[in-house]
Amino acid sequence: MSAHVEETRDLCPAEHLDGLVVLTLNRPEARNALDVPLLQAFVAGLAAGIRAGAGVVLVRAEGSAFCAGADVRSDDGTASGHPGLRRRLIEESLDLLGGYPAAVVAVQGAAVGAGWAVAAAADIVLASPAASFRFPELPLGFPPPDSTVRRLEAAVGPARALRLLALGERFAADDLAGLGLVDVVPETSLDEKARETAARLAALPPELLRDLKAGLSAWKRTSLPNTLERQS
């Protein structure tokens, strides 16, 4: 790919449909690793969808991997006078994802570190059988995003969340399906199923969808201790 194409390519193209925005991570030659330009495009796409009144966002990716995590070989903003910009943009993207009444993510390959954080921020994660998930941050000396810690703890409890986040292990889609974190979909129909699911959610009144999501979150917070108590 020529330098000219790299400079002018849309790193995160957006499709605006009825009540739905579809965002595509489009840096496949780097396995969609999150450098500052891709993150800026992603954040801009998420913010534009909210401004346009989209109730649902679908995040998908081009290439063999969903997202290889933060691109630690790229400038984190220091060269432009903004050290730590990459991590701040990751946190901003997770906050924006959580701001939608519903978020859907389609994972067709590896979702590593910040890539898994993006998936964990969604309400529905559809994954191909070849998808894999790994958090390498803690063994490398970096804390995972707070929102990811809270989300996984609420979903699977503190003990399982610790294993998912702390040991740097690779988990297959079937592993996470067993914990209720993803739904496994044949790779050939992953994109179609993700778009269909997102469109069905977008057809619902967004305010009712938001209320339902808030109610379910409150139920998780009150029921989780009882569930863990029964297991002990």
**Rounded to 10 degrees, what is the CA torsion of 31, 97, 140, 30?**
10
pLDDT tens digits, 127-164: 999 999 999 988 888 888 888 999 899 889 999 999 99
| Cβ-proximal residues to 48 (8 Å cutoff; 6+ apart), any chain | 14, 21
Asked whether 34 and 88 are in contact (CB, 8 A), the reply is: no
The pTM for the full model equals 0.89
| Cβ-proximal residues to 177 (8 Å cutoff; 6+ apart), any chain | 127, 183, 184
Q: Which of 59, 29, 19, 55 is nearest to 43 (CA)?
A: 59
pLDDT tens digits, 163-178: 999 999 999 999 999 9
Range of the structural domain that residue 7 is part of: 3-231
- Looking at residue 9, which CATH number applies to its domain? 3.90.226.10
Number of separate domains in the chain: 1
